[in-house]
Structure 1
Amino acid sequence: MRKYVFGTGIIGAVTTGLEMLRQLRDGQPFTWRTALIWASWGITLALAIGAIVDVRREEVAEQAESSN
C-alpha cells in the first residue's frame, strides 16, 4: 500500500493543495480564477486516486489468474 500512497501523482496533488491552502491563509482574495484552480486540483487528485485504484485492481486480477 505504501507504494501507492507515495506515488508521484498523490505527492504532487498533496503539495499543490498545501500551497493553495497557504495562499488562502496569507489573505489572497478568492476569485473565479482561484475557484478554477481548486477545481483543477480536485480533478488532479481524483485522477491520481483513480490511477491507484486501477493499478491495484490489475494486480489483484493478475494474482487471481496466476493462482488458478
Structure 2
Amino acid sequence: MAEGALSKLKNGTFKGMFVVNKDAAYEFKYVIDGAFVNEPEADSFEWNEFVRNENGVLAG
C-alpha cells in the first residue's frame, strides 16, 4: 500500500510523488478535511466491497 501526503501549491492544486509498479492497477481515494473523495479524472472506478463504495483506479 502506497501511503503519503500531497503538498498544496500556491495555485490551489496539490502535488505528490509515489513509487508504484507500472504494470499494475491501484485503487485510491483522497482524504480531504477528513472526507474520502474520488479523483474525477481517474482511469476508471471499481466497487470495493470492503468499504462498500467506489474507489478511483490508476491503471499502469
Q: TM-score range by the shorter chain?
A: under 0.3
What TM-score do you get using the length of structure 2 for normalisation? 0.18
What TM-score do you get using the length of structure 1 for normalisation? 0.16
Where relative contact order (Cα < 8 A, 6+ residues apart) is larger, the structure is: 1
Q: Which has the higher strand share?
A: 2
Q: Which has the higher helix share?
A: 1
Q: Which has the larger radius of gyration?
A: 1
